[in-house]
């Protein structure tokens, strides 16, 4: 039925006439009923709008708990040697290539020895000349000594012959040293491996000219044993205090995303590294690479286990910071998964829960969690030994 203005006016007029015919106590009763009805409706609306507290329950588990820090680093051989040359020349021959296994003393490359051999010949001739002059001076000194004993020459002539002999002796010694130097330089043209290992870098080609100066040019880089490698992990200054020698480490590389490798922290360098005002320290993680699957230069994502607790009861950290709101303990519902927290309350962040629990632990020994028993929650005192921000043991 459509409500029109004349009909509404007639209804209001009839209602006003009815109210006038009512007695005063009937009017009072009708007004009270209207007020009660409005108040009840408002309370119902507020109750329906109020969020109902629902608990999320998590089962107590038994297992291991690790406190970890993460960093990244580069895989490298434990010992690498840069092989250079101490003489200048042109590369005449290369005996090895990348990934070649070499033995100590094995020939790696040979420089052109034309000028070096000429230097040896020149030094040898100079030495032979010095030896001849020394022989002549020695014979002259012997004759002078004999004549001086017979007083046929003066003492000055004898001393002059002795000085010539000593000069010739010094010249022969110098020439012999130059000859030895020329021979050594000739041997330097034969570039040999100083260690047993594998060639991981070659920086020369046949015909290339190398110039030896104060810094010898690097021709090859040799790693001693790639079955034993290490990671130089950069650890943030906020975490370096938690790292210690002997701690276990796990790491992954992009080449094998499904594999997890193990290592051990062996060294912590005291020298800091500062990049864009961020200070970090280098921790060396040693590892075995028996299958040679890992290669130098790979980027490793490292997780260092700073603390661990085995065979412990585990609960979510959020359960340590949960407190029922007021005297009204809401009923417990079991959703799929989750932890002990009230849906009507804001869950505490892990770091906030840890800070609050640490303060309460200083005030009272132990902490408290709530255990569901039917429709009630029973508080239980617990002693927290370790937590990693997510789970506590």
Grade residue 23 by pLDDT with cuts at 50, 70 and 90. low
Residue 116 placed within a domain: yes
Q: In terms of domains, do 193 and 265 share one?
A: no
Does pLDDT of 18 surpass 70? Answer: no
Instruction: Write out the H or E segment, with its range, that includes residue 110.
Output: strand 107-111
How is residue 332 annotated by DSSP?
B
Torsion region of 292: left, alpha or beta (phi above 0 gives left; psi -120 to 50 gives alpha) = left
Does the structure show a pLDDT above 90 at 194? yes
In-domain check, residue 261: yes
Please tell me the predicted confidence (pLDDT) of residue 62: 81
Q: How far apart are CA 254 and CA 301, in angstroms?
A: 9
Residue 212 shares a structural domain with residue 248: no
181 is in which domain, residue-wise? 81-221
Distance CA 342, CA 333 (A): 10
- pLDDT at position 15 is 62
Residue 286 is inside which H or E element, if any? strand 278-288
Task: Clarify whether residues 269 and 296 are in a common domain.
Answer: yes
Give the per-residue pLDDT at 341: 41
> Residue 26 — very low, low, confident or very high, per pLDDT cuts 50/70/90?
low
**Residue 333 pLDDT exceeds 50:** no
Do 266 and 371 fall into the same domain? yes
The answer on 267 and 206 residing in a single domain is: no
Is the domain of 351 the same as that of 378?
Answer: yes
d(CA 1, CA 340) in angstroms, rounded, equals 55
Domain boundary among 157, 189, 221: 221
Task: Using the predicted structure, report yes or no on whether residue 359 has a pLDDT greater than 70.
Answer: no
Residues 334-360 have a mean pLDDT of 40
Q: Which of 233-237, 260-264, 289-293, 341-345 has the lowest mean pLDDT?
A: 341-345
- In sequence order, the β-bridge partners of residue 268 are 283
Q: What does pLDDT average to over the chain?
A: 80
Least confident stretch, 6-10, 112-116, 129-133: 6-10
Q: 72 and 132, same structural domain?
A: no
Report pLDDT for 49: 64
pLDDT of residue 363: 40
Q: Which residues of 215-243 are buried (b: 16+ CB within 10 A; e: fewer)?
A: ebbebbbbbbebeebbbbbbbeeebbeeb
Integer Cα distance of 234 and 139 in angstroms: 74
Contact residues for 178 (Cβ-Cβ < 8 A; gap 6+): 123, 126, 127
What does the pLDDT look like over 62-91, one tens digit per residue? 877 778 899 999 999 999 999 988 898 999
- Look at residue 115 and tell me whether its pLDDT is greater than 80: yes
Top pLDDT among 241 and 335 is at 241
Query: Does 196 map to a domain?
Result: yes
If pLDDT is split at 50, 70 and 90, which confidence band does 16 have? low
Are residue 378 and residue 262 in the same domain, yes or no?
yes
Looking at the fold, whether 217 and 121 belong to one and the same domain comes out as yes
Total domains in the chain come to 3
Residues 286 and 197 in one domain: no
Instruction: Say if residue 273 is in the same domain as residue 380.
Output: yes
Question: Which carries the bigger pLDDT value, residue 327 or residue 47?
Answer: 47
Per-position DSSP letters for 188-241, written without gaps between them: HTEEE-SSSEEEEEE---TT-EE--SSSPPEEEEEES-TTEEEEEEEEETTTGG
Residue 376 pLDDT more than 90?
A: no
Contact 46, 289 (CB under 8 A): no
Q: How confident is the model at residue 369 (pLDDT cuts 50, 70, 90)?
A: confident
Whether residue 48 lies inside any domain: the answer is no
Domain CATH for 113: 2.40.50.100
The pLDDT score that the predictor gives to residue 328 is 43
Co-location of 102 and 208 in the same domain = yes
Listed ranges 17-31, 152-166, 328-342; the one with the highest mean pLDDT: 152-166
pLDDT of res. 346: 41
| Local confidence band at 350 (pLDDT 50, 70, 90 cut-offs) | very low
């Amino acid at each position: 039925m459509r409500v029109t203005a004349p009909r509404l006016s007639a209804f209001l007029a009839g209602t006003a006439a009815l109210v006038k015919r009512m007695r005063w106590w009937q009017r009072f009763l009708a007004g009270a009923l209207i007020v009660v009805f409005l108040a009840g409706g408002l309370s119902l609306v507020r109750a329906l709008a109020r969020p109902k507290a629902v608990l999320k329950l998590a089962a107590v588990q038994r297992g291991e708990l690790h406190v970890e820090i993460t960093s990244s680093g580069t895989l490298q051989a434990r010992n690498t040697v840069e092989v250079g040359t101490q003489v200048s020349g042109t590369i005449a021959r290369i005996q090895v290539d990348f990934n070649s296994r070499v033995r100590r003393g094995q020939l790696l490359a040979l420089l052109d020895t034309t000028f070096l051999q000429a230097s040896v010949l020149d030094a040898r001739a100079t030495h032979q000349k010095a030896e001849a002059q020394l022989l002549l001076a020695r014979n002259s000194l012997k004759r002078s000594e004999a004549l001086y004993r017979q007083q046929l020459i003066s003492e000055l002539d004898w001393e002059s012959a002795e000085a010539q002999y000593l000069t010739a002796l010094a010249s022969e010694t110098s020439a012999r040293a130059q000859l030895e130097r020329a021979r050594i330089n000739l041997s330097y043209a034969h570039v040999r491996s100083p260690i047993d290992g594998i060639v991981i870098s070659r920086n020369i080609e046949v015909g290339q000219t190398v110039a030896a100066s104060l810094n010898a040019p690097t021709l090859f880089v040799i790693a001693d044993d790639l079955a034993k490698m290490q990671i130089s992990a950069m650890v943030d200054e906020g975490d370096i205090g938690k790292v210690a020698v002997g701690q276990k480490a796990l790491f992954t590389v992009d080449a094998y995303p499904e594999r997890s490798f193990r290592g051990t922290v062996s060294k912590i360098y005291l020298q800091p590294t500062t990049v864009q005002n961020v200070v970090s320290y280098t921790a060396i993680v040693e590892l075995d690479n028996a299958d040679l699957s890992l290669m130098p230069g790979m980027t490793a994502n490292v997780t260092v286990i700073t603390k661990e607790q085995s065979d412990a009861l585990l609960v979510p950290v959020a359960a340590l910071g949960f407190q029922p709101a007021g005297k009204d303990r809401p009923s417990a519902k079991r959703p799929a998964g989750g932890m002990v927290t009230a849906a009507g309350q804001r869950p505490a962040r892990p770091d906030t829960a840890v800070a609050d629990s640490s303060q309460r632990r200083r005030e009272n020994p132990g902490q408290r969690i709530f255990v569901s028993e039917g429709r009630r929650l029973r508080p239980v005192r617990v002693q927290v030994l370790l937590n990693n921000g997510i789970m506590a043991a």
